[in-house]
C-alpha cells in the first residue's frame, strides 16, 4: 500500500480487510472480522457480538425522521446482524454523542424506539455511554446466543445451493428517493416506502427459520442485494446467479419510480437499509416466508440472468461520498 492511498481510494470493504489483517485473533475467537457478527467462545457457550455506528447527516436526518424512528432503525441494523448469524439477539449496548443544546425529549424518544425494536426479539438494553459533541452519533453493540446451534456464516455456500430472500427489497431506497426529491405526493405507496426508510422491519424470525432449515450461508441485506451476495460469493469461493424474473419490483416501487424518474429494479438489486435476509439453502424446498431468487454455481462473482452488471452495485461509505 503506497503513501498516496486514501480511505476513499480503498473503499469501505478494502479498508476493513486491511484493518482486520492487523488485528490479533485469540483462542477465544471462533469467527472474527469479515462476517455480519463475531462469535466468541466462553465457558457457558458462544456469544455473538456486533456493532454499528450511525452518524447524523450520513445515516439519518432529523428533518426526515423522528428520534423514535431513528431509535428503531439503530436497533434494527444491529439486531439484524445477530439474526443473520442464526442467533437470537439478547442485548444491546448503546453509546450516544449529543449536542448540549439538543432538546431533552430527543434522547428519551430515541430510547423508546430502541426499546420497542428490541421488544420484537425479546432483547434488552443493558448499558452504554454518553458524551457531548457537536453532532449526534449513535453507536450500538448487539449480543446474541446460538442456543446450541452452529453459527451460519457467509462462507458455507456450495454449488447447487438455492439462493433465497426473506423480507422487502428496494423499499428503503424508494423512500430515500422520495425524501431526497422532496416529493409532496401523499399516496399509500409513498407513505409506505417513506416509513420503510425511516423504520426498517427486518424479518428476524425468518432468519432463524432459515438457519434451522440448514442454510449454508446467511447475510443481512444492508448495503444492497448484489453487494451483499457478493460478500457471500467471495467468502465461499463460489458464483451466484440471480433470476430477474424472481426479483420483479413491487407495485409500490414501480409507482414511486415513475414519480421520481428512477429505475425500480435498481432499487431491488442495489438499494440498502431494508435489512432483508439472503440465504443459500441446500435443495429446492424453501422455509415458510422465503422466496427463491437464484442459485449457486462454480466460479466467482454475482450475475443476473448470467450477465455481470456494471456500475454501482451497492452502498460503500467511502466510494459513494
Taking CA atoms, 10 is separated from 6, 125, 237, 314, 320, in Å, by: 6, 35, 22, 15, 12
- Over residues 128-133, the mean pLDDT reads 95
Length of the chain: 321
Is the pLDDT assigned to residue 12 strictly greater than 60?
no
Higher-confidence position of 23 and 36: 36
CATH code of the domain covering residue 216: 3.90.650.10
Indicate if 133 and 205 belong to the same structural domain.
Answer: no
Indicate if 167 and 287 belong to the same structural domain.
Answer: yes
The pLDDT tens digits of the residues spanning 263-289 come to 999 999 999 999 999 999 998 889 999
Higher-confidence position of 156 and 16: 156
Indicate if 39 and 166 belong to the same structural domain.
Answer: no
Q: Is residue 120 part of a domain?
A: yes
140: left (phi over 0), alpha (psi -120 to 50) or beta: beta
- Over residues 94-104, the mean pLDDT reads 96
Indicate if 183 and 244 belong to the same structural domain.
Answer: yes
The pLDDT tens digits of the residues spanning 137-165 come to 999 999 999 999 999 999 999 999 999 99
pLDDT band per the 50, 70, 90 thresholds, residue 30: confident
Which one of 119, 145, 171 terminates a domain? 145
Q: How far apart are CA 132 and CA 103, in angstroms?
A: 13
SS3 readout for 92-114: EEEEEEECCCCCCHHHHHHHHHH
Average pLDDT in the chain: 90
Indicate if 109 and 172 belong to the same structural domain.
Answer: no
What pLDDT sits at residue 88? 97
Indicate if 247 and 215 belong to the same structural domain.
Answer: yes
Q: Is residue 11 part of a domain?
A: no
The pLDDT tens digits of the residues spanning 202-237 come to 999 999 999 999 999 999 999 999 999 999 999 999
What pLDDT sits at residue 23? 62
Indicate if 80 and 169 belong to the same structural domain.
Answer: no
Q: How far apart are CA 268 and CA 195, in angstroms?
A: 17
Indicate if 111 and 178 belong to the same structural domain.
Answer: no
Q: Is residue 8 part of a domain?
A: no
Indicate if 208 and 124 belong to the same structural domain.
Answer: no
Q: How far apart are CA 175 and CA 253, in angstroms?
A: 9
The pLDDT tens digits of the residues spanning 46-71 come to 999 999 999 998 889 999 999 999 99
pLDDT band per the 50, 70, 90 thresholds, residue 317: very low
What pLDDT sits at residue 321? 40
> Domain total for the chain?
2
Indicate if 285 and 241 belong to the same structural domain.
Answer: yes
Q: Is residue 233 part of a domain?
A: yes
CATH code of the domain covering residue 76: 3.30.1330.10
Closest CA to 175 of 155, 201, 144: 201
The pLDDT tens digits of the residues spanning 31-47 come to 877 777 889 888 778 99
Q: How far apart are CA 157 and CA 159, in angstroms?
A: 7
Range(s) of the domain holding residue 232: 162-304
What pLDDT sits at residue 24? 62
Indicate if 131 and 174 belong to the same structural domain.
Answer: no
Indicate if 105 and 236 belong to the same structural domain.
Answer: no
Amino acid at each position: 500500500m503506497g503513501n498516496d492511498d486514501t480511505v476513499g481510494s480503498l473503499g469501505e470493504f478494502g479498508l476493513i480487510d486491511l484493518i482486520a489483517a492487523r488485528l490479533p485473533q485469540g483462542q477465544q475467537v471462533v469467527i472474527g472480522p469479515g462476517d455480519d457478527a463475531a462469535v466468541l467462545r466462553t465457558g457457558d457457550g458462544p456469544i455473538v457480538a456486533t456493532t454499528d455506528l450511525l452518524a447524523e447527516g450520513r445515516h439519518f436526518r432529523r428533518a426526515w425522521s423522528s428520534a423514535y424512528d431513528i431509535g428503531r432503525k439503530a436497533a434494527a441494523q444491529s439486531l439484524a446482524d445477530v439474526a443473520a448469524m442464526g442467533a437470537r439477539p439478547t442485548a444491546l449496548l448503546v453509546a450516544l454523542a449529543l449536542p448540549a443544546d439538543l432538546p431533552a425529549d430527543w434522547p428519551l424518544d430515541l430510547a423508546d424506539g430502541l426499546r420497542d425494536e428490541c421488544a420484537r426479539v425479546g432483547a434488552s438494553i443493558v448499558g452504554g455511554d454518553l458524551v457531548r459533541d457537536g453532532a449526534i452519533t449513535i453507536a450500538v453493540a448487539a449480543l446474541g446466543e446460538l442456543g446450541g446451534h452452529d453459527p451460519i456464516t457467509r462462507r458455507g455456500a456450495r454449488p447447487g445451493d438455492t439462493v433465497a430472500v426473506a423480507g422487502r427489497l428496494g423499499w428503503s431506497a424508494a423512500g430515500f428517493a422520495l425524501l431526497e426529491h422532496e416529493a409532496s405526493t401523499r399516496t399509500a405507496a409513498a407513505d409506505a416506502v417513506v416509513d420503510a426508510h425511516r423504520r426498517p422491519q427486518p424479518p428476524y424470525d425468518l432468519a432463524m427459520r432459515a438457519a434451522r432449515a440448514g442454510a449454508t450461508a446467511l447475510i443481512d441485506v444492508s448495503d444492497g442485494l448484489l453487494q451483499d451476495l457478493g460478500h457471500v460469493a467471495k467468502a465461499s469461493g463460489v458464483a451466484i446467479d440471480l433470476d430477474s424474473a424472481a426479483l420483479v419490483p413491487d407495485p409500490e416501487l414501480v409507482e414511486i419510480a415513475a414519480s421520481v424518474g428512477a429505475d425500480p429494479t435498481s432499487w431491488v438489486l442495489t438499494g440498502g437499509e431494508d435489512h432483508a435476509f439472503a440465504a443459500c439453502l441446500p435443495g429446492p424446498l424453501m422455509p415458510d416466508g422465503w422466496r427463491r431468487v437464484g442459485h449457486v454455481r462454480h466460479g466467482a462473482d454475482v450475475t443476473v440472468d448470467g450477465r455481470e452488471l456494471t456500475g454501482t452495485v451497492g452502498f460503500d461509505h467511502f466510494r459513494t461520498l
